[in-house]
Structure 1
Amino acid sequence: MSAQDTPAHPRHHLDPTLGHPVRFSLMAVLAQTDEIDFATLRDHLQVSDSVLSKQVTALESAGYVRVRKGFIGKRPRTWLKATKEGESVWQHHLAALRQIAGEF
């Protein structure tokens, strides 16, 4: 079997956007919920507002997360939801990790 016939290593199927630990953790939470508010997610991930905001922006730019802003009473709130693309990318990323972990 030549090198050209060898299947690509599963690491080539990892999404580089999800390589950051906070982005990975954020997508893991979004995969388990329909929608979550920013403060709850921040507290769960144990990060600051600025760290979470920066990572949300990266995922939103990639098309993986949708951000919805609104109010509860007079207090502003932000909610996050994985997009269909984000859900798909997350599932493929996890599948690649599982292949890598169980490969040898």
Structure 2
Amino acid sequence: MVEARFDAVIHAPLRLRICGLLRPVDGLDFALLRDSLEVSDATLSKHVKTLTAAGYVTSRKAASTERSDGRRIMWLSLTGPGRLAFDGHVRALREIVGTGS
């Protein structure tokens, strides 16, 4: 069981949403994440950079079979420590609001 631990890096509303969307999947396309969150490239990049610096998110670029222009897609994923930190943060929030684990 993950220990409840409030995490100020994750707690920022947009970063919490980013982690929440990345948690159940192996990775998400940057553009899909941006569109889901309804933010600009710059805004998402800023928050991803913060999560990456904390060791919570990783990115990789890969060629797309759907594109003919040679551009690569950026995929974002939670790292192992990122998953643990997110789970611990969610648990801490549940304790704060009194809903337990």
Number of positions where the alignment pairs a residue of Structure 1 with one of Structure 2: 92
SS at match of 2:94: helix
Matches within 5 A, 1:40-55: 40-55=32-47
CA deviation after TM superposition for structure 1 residue 70, in Å: 2.2
Q: 2:91 aligns with which of 75, 88, 95?
A: 95
Scaled by the length of structure 1, what TM-score is found?
0.83
What does residue 84 of structure 1 align with? 80
Determine the C-alpha separation between the residues in 1 that align with 2:63 and 2:49: 20
CA deviation after TM superposition for structure 1 residue 37, in Å: 0.4
What amino acid is aligned across from residue 39 of structure 2 in structure 1?
V
CA deviation after TM superposition for structure 1 residue 34, in Å: 1.0
Gaps of 5+ in 2: none
> Are 2:26 and 1:34 aligned?
yes
Gaps of 5+ in 1: 1-9
Identify which of structures 1 and 2 has the higher relative contact order when contacts are C-alpha pairs closer than 8 Å and 6+ apart: 2
Q: Percent identity?
A: 40
**Structure with the largest fraction of helix:** 1
* CA offset digits 1:16-51 (Å, max 9, x no partner): 101211110000001111110000000001110000
Larger Rg: 1
Q: CA RMSD in A?
A: 1.3
* Structure 1 residue ranges (4+ consecutive) displaced by more than 2 angstroms after TM superposition: none
